[in-house]
Amino acid sequence: MTIEKTKIPEHLNYLLNLTKSYEAYFKKNMDTTDINIGEILILLEIYNNEGLNQIDIVKKFHVTEANISKTTKNLLVKGLIIKKIDVENNTKKLLFLTDKGQEACEKLLGIFKNWNEEVIKDIPMDELIKFSEILSRLSENSIQLI
């Protein structure tokens, strides 16, 4: 009886490399802004959907409430977001950007645009669309596991 070695699929290594490159590029280009890589997605989600609450973010990113609570607290302390009580539900706090948060998001989006243009510059659009569809399916399948 032989035991097969478990091999990590190459696509996972590629995704990890892509993620590491993305993080390193942001760190390199965000040198004057006190935003860590874990806060970027949350900040940009608030930018895209001001007035959402922490539970909305938990559902979107499939992370724990504790994780989002800690991240939003850090963003509050840094003066990038504010919380306002929902007038329709006093127990619900809604998230909004400050002027400083707005400026940070615009800088982040510029950095992302530059990174994205360099990464996809030699890939045909039909391949990018197919890749996006496949990533979406992989994401959905992986979420179903948890």
Q: Quick one: which H or E segment has residue 23? A: helix 10-29
Beta bridge partners of 94: 84
| Tens place of pLDDT per residue across the chain (146 aa) | 555 666 668 888 888 899 899 888 988 888 767 888 889 999 999 999 999 999 999 999 888 999 999 999 999 999 999 999 988 888 889 999 999 999 999 999 999 999 999 999 999 999 999 999 998 998 889 888 87
Burial group, residue 113, by CB count within 10 angstroms (0-12, 13-18, 19+): exposed
Domains (range + CATH), the chain = 11-111 (1.10.10.10)
Look at residue 2 in the predicted model and tell me its pLDDT: 56
Look at residue 70 in the predicted model and tell me its pLDDT: 95
Residues sharing a CB contact under 8 Å with residue 37, sequence separation 6 or more, in sequence order: 23, 26, 27
Look at residue 81 in the predicted model and tell me its pLDDT: 97
* DSSP symbols for 120-132: HTTS-HHHHHHHH
pTM value is: 0.80
Look at residue 73 in the predicted model and tell me its pLDDT: 96
